[in-house]
Amino acid sequence: MLISDIVCDLQPTPEVNSKIDELLESIKEQGLFHPITVHELNTSPITFEVIAGKKRFLAIQKLGVHIIPCEVKKGLDGYQKEEISLHENLKRGQLPWHEEVELVQKLHDLRQRQHGLGIANRPVNSDKKGWGMRDTANELGKALGSVSMDIQLARMVRQNPALKNIRDKATAMKVIKQTTKRLFAEEEATVSGMQDCADEVFFGEAASILNQLPETIFDFCITDPPWLKFAKADDPTLTRDAFTLPVFKALYRTMKYESMMYMFVGAEDFEFYKHELPKIGWKVQSHPCVWAKEGSLSRTGVRSWEHGRDLELILVAAKGSPVIASSTQVSSLFSHAVVPSKSLVHPNEKPTGLIESMLRLCSYVGSLGVDPFAGSGVMASACRKTKRHYVLIERENDRYKKILDRLGKKEKKEKT
C-alpha cells in the first residue's frame, strides 16, 4: 500500500522519536518482519488509518520508502480497533516490562469499559456480570496473580515514571513494595525498610533502585565500582558524571548518619572521588587505605624501571562522624591473598576474608549494608559469615544470575 494513502495519529515525543530511531536501524539491517494493520476510512478518496504498528509506520516513512505491507480491516468500531492494537503489541517479543504491563492495563480498562466493572476473584463460572482481573487473565492465558501484578505495576509507573529505569519486573515489584511501605508508614520507614530489604539482590541501575528505597536504612557500604580510567574505553556509558556520581548521591541518602563506606578505586579515581564526594555530603579520608595482595605481583604493562603492582587503593568515606570498631588505632594497610584464578566468579573479585576484616571495622552483628556495584557478590558471602545483612545491586544480567547462584537464591520469575 502507498504510504501517502495512510494517516497516523501518533504524536512525536522524545521517547517516541527514540523508539522510531531504534526501529529505523533495525529495519535498515533486517527489513520489516510484520506488516502494519490499517483500517479503511469512509473518505473520498479512500484513506487508511494505522491501528497497529504506528512506530513501524513512522520509521518506514522516515526511511523514505513509498510502499509498506499492510493488513487491511474494514467497518471496525473504536473498541475493535483498540483491541487489535493491544493484542498485536502484546504478541511482540522482548517488550520492555513497563510497556508490557501498560498494555495489560489498557486491555483490562478496555474490557471494563465494554462490560462494566467486575470482581477480580470472581469464580470462573459465575453468572455475575462485569469484567474482572480473572477475565483479563483468561483472555491473555496468564495466571490471575500475574495479571494483578502487571496492573499494579502499570499504575505505579504512571505515578512514578522513574521506575522505567529498573531493568526487570521482579526488581520493580520489590522497589514498589518499598515505596508503598514508605508512603503508608513513613515514620517506620527505617525499621520496615531494613526488614524488607535485608539479604536481597536487586537487578538494575543502582541510582534508580536506591532512589526508591527509604532514607537512612544502611549501616555501611563496601563496594568496587568500575575503575573509570578503563570503563570509558570499554563502555562509553560508564562515565563519572553520567553513571557513578548519581549512584553515590543516591547512596548517601540511604545511608544512616554515623555510617562508613569502603570503596576500591584506581589511583586516578581516588583523586577524583576525593574532590567530588564531599560536594554530595560525604567526608573522605585524605589518604587511601591499601590492600596489599599477598603473593601476587603483576608486571602487565609496566616499563623496565617501574615496580610491579601488588596493591589496590581503598577510599574511606563517612556520613557524619562514625567510630571505627577497634580499641586501638587501625592501620591503613590490609594484607590478604588474592582469590585463586580458578575460583574467580568475577575478574575483579575481592577475597572474602578481606571484606570480612572491613566489616568488623565499620559494622556490627545484625547491621545492614549495601553494595551498589555487586560484581561477584562477595560482600554477601562475607556478611553471611559475620552475621551481617546485605543488599546487593547489579546491572549486568549475567553477573546478577551468578550472584544468585553463589548465594543459593532462585531467580524470581513471573508465573504464567
| End-to-end alpha carbon distance in the chain | 38
Strand partners, 255: 218
Q: CB-hemisphere CA count at 13 Å for 147?
A: 22
Between 28 and 202, where is the model more confident? 202
Is residue 105 within 8 Å of residue 151, measured between CB atoms? yes
**Confidence category of residue 186, pLDDT binned at 50, 70, 90:** very low
Domain 187-407, classified CATH 3.40.50.150, yes or no:
yes
**Confidence category of residue 256, pLDDT binned at 50, 70, 90:** very high
Domain range summary for the chain, segments of one domain joined by +: 1-78, 187-407
Region 31-45 average pLDDT? 85
Distance in angstroms (rounded) separating the CA atoms of residues 133 and 145: 9
Question: What proportion of the chain, given as a percentage, has pLDDT over 70?
Answer: 84
pLDDT digits (tens, 9 = 90+) for 330-360: 899 999 988 887 777 777 889 999 999 999 9
What SS3 state is found at 390? strand
Distance in angstroms (rounded) separating the CA atoms of residues 204 and 393: 7
CATH architecture of the domain formed by 1-78: Alpha-Beta Complex (3.90)
Tell me the pairing of strands 48-52 and 6-7. Answer: parallel
Report the pLDDT value the prediction gives residue 410, as an integer from 0 to 100.
65
pLDDT digits (tens, 9 = 90+) for 290-331: 999 887 777 666 677 888 788 999 999 999 888 887 767 789
**Does pLDDT of 131 surpass 90?**
no
Residue type, 206: A
Residue type, 203: F
Distance in angstroms (rounded) separating the CA atoms of residues 348 and 367: 26
Q: Is the pTM of this model over 0.75?
A: no
Measure Cα distances from 220 to 257, 295, 322, 360 in Å.
10, 29, 10, 11
Region 266-275 average pLDDT? 91
Dihedral pair phi/psi, residue 151, rounded to 5°: -70, -40
Distance in angstroms (rounded) separating the CA atoms of residues 309 and 311: 6
pLDDT digits (tens, 9 = 90+) for 41-69: 988 888 999 988 888 888 888 888 888 88
